[in-house]
């Protein structure tokens, strides 16, 4: 089973569990609509890749960590798309949750996904209760304040913010959670894995900025030019397209250098490179790596 299949199966099983029955039906529909069909599942696949690099001795815990991170990512997309933020009409090639279910179920669906993420972590750790506390520490830090995705989004409400401060919280935090949680799920110390996640987050953000400037909305499943439209910082806007690609290449070299010594380091290096190539729009190639 591929990691992607493993994630889809874990998400399906979890979201069809006891918490799916007997509740308000439209809330359940809105939550499933926000999660399926997914995007590339980059963060949970990264989480599993790191867990494997660390031995993956408790696959159910790694699955729980991976889907918790994906549900938190989906929650942030649902709330980011709300009329008071991006007012985005589409997401992943279909109407955004607030367009399909209304604004109230978009707010509640995002809230529900945050709670479900923590529920998934707690359930996954039933057989390994010693792993719950380190996972909770890693995951709460990545979504809360001062450096998590909620804080990242809130920087948009401040008069002054630097590009790196904003992107580190808005995007980098969940990548760091993915690498740290992958390690913690496999019983390794999460701390040495944070730098890899931080750098991957920066590289991903740069690739995303490049796609926002030159990407194809039909392939992306979402509109392009959103950063300019919303007056948000964008690396490709700041450095120009060539500058942004150069920057991405050097970020990627730093990322590969940040993989801590571990049994599966070589395989993880391949994972990172394959991912990076897949993120760039057609016609934009990496020269190095």
**Residue choice 9, 13, 16, 23 for contact with a copy of itself (CB under 8 A):** 23
Which residue shows structure tokens 């506390």?
Answer: 133
Residue pointed to by tokens 């401060």 = 165
- Residues in region 147-176 near a copy of itself by CB under 8 A: 147-148, 150-151, 153-158, 161
Query: CA 286 → CA 12, 174, 246, 252, distances in Å?
Result: 35, 24, 8, 10
Q: Which stretch binds a copy of itself (CB under 8 A): 23-31, 174-182, 225-233, 267-275?
A: 23-31
User: Out of 11, 47, 114, 176, which residue is the one contacting a copy of itself (CB under 8 A)?
Assistant: 114
Of the candidates 172, 150, 164, 140, the one whose C-alpha atom is nearest the C-alpha of residue 233 is 164
Using CB under 8 A, which of 1, 2, 5, 21 touches a copy of itself? Answer: 21
Residues 25-54 that bind a copy of itself (CB under 8 A): 25-28, 31
Helix H or strand E segment including 59: helix 59-80
Looking at beta carbons only, is 113 or 279 nearer to a copy of itself?
Answer: 113
110's CB contacts (< 8 A; 6+ apart) are 34, 75, 76, 78, 79
Site string for a copy of itself, 60-99 (x = CB under 8 A): ---------------x---x--x-xx--------------
Q: How far is the CB of 280 from a copy of itself (least distance, A)?
A: 31
Hey, which residues does 90 pair with through a beta bridge? 95
Does residue 242 bind a copy of itself (CB under 8 A)? no
| Calpha distance 244→239 (Å, rounded) | 6
Nearest CA-CA partner of 33 in 85, 87, 103, 109: 109
Return the closest-CA partner of residue 121 out of 112, 131, 111, 109. Answer: 131
- Cβ atoms within 10 Å, residue 19: 17
| Least distance to a copy of itself, CB of residue 21, Å | 6
* Half-sphere exposure at residue 199, Cβ-oriented, CA atoms within 13 angstroms: 21
Tell me how far CA of residue 20 lies from CA of 12, 24, 25, in angstroms: 11, 9, 8
Nearest to 152, CA basis, from 167, 138, 139: 167
- Does the protein bind a copy of itself through residue 116 (CB under 8 A)? yes
Q: Taking contact as CB under 8 A, which single stretch among the options 121-129, 183-191, 231-239, 245-253 is the one that binds a copy of itself?
A: 121-129
> Applying CB under 8 A, which part among 19-27, 236-244, 246-254, 266-274 lies near a copy of itself?
19-27
**Min CB(145)–a copy of itself separation in Å:** 4
Q: Note whether 146 binds a copy of itself by CB under 8 A.
A: yes
For the segment 187-226, give every residue that binds a copy of itself (CB under 8 A): none
Q: Which lies closer to a copy of itself via its Cβ, residue 93 or residue 102? A: 102
The footprint of a copy of itself (CB under 8 A) covers: 18-28, 31, 75, 79, 82, 84-85, 102-105, 107-108, 110-112, 114-116, 118-119, 121-122, 125-126, 129-130, 132-133, 136-137, 140-141, 143-148, 150-151, 153-158, 161
């Amino acid at each position: 089973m591929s990691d992607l299949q493993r994630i889809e199966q874990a998400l399906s099983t979890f979201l069809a569990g006891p918490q799916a029955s007997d509740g308000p039906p439209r809330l359940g529909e809105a939550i499933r609509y926000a999660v399926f069909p997914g995007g590339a599942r980059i963060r949970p696949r990264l989480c599993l890749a790191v867990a494997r690099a660390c031995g993956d001795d408790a696959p159910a815990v790694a699955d729980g960590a991976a889907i918790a991170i994906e549900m938190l990512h989906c929650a942030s997309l649902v709330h980011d798309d709300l009329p008071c933020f991006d007012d985005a009409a589409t997401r992943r090639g279909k109407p955004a949750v607030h367009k399909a279910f209304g604004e109230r179920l978009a707010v509640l669906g995002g809230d529900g996904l945050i709670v479900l993420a923590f529920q998934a972590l707690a359930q996954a750790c039933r057989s390994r209760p010693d792993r719950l506390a380190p996972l909770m520490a890693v995951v709460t830090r990545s979504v809360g304040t001062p450096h998590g995705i909620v804080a990242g989004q809130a920087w948009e409400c401040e008069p002054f913010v630097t590009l790196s401060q904003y992107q580190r919280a808005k995007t980098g935090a969940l990548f760091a959670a993915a690498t740290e949680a992958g390690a913690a799920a496999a019983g390794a110390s999460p701390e040495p894995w944070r730098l890899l996640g931080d750098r991957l987050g920066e590289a991903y953000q740069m690739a995303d900025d490049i796609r926002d400037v030159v990407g194809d909305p039909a392939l992306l499943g979402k509109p392009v030019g959103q950063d300019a439209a919303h007056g948000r910082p964008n690396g490709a806007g700041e450095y120009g397209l060539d500058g942004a690609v150069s920057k991405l290449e050097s970020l990627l070299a730093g990322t590969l250098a940040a993989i801590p010594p571990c049994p599966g380091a070589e395989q993880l290096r391949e994972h990172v490179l394959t991912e990076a190539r897949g993120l760039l729009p057609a016609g934009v190639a990496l020269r190095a790596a």
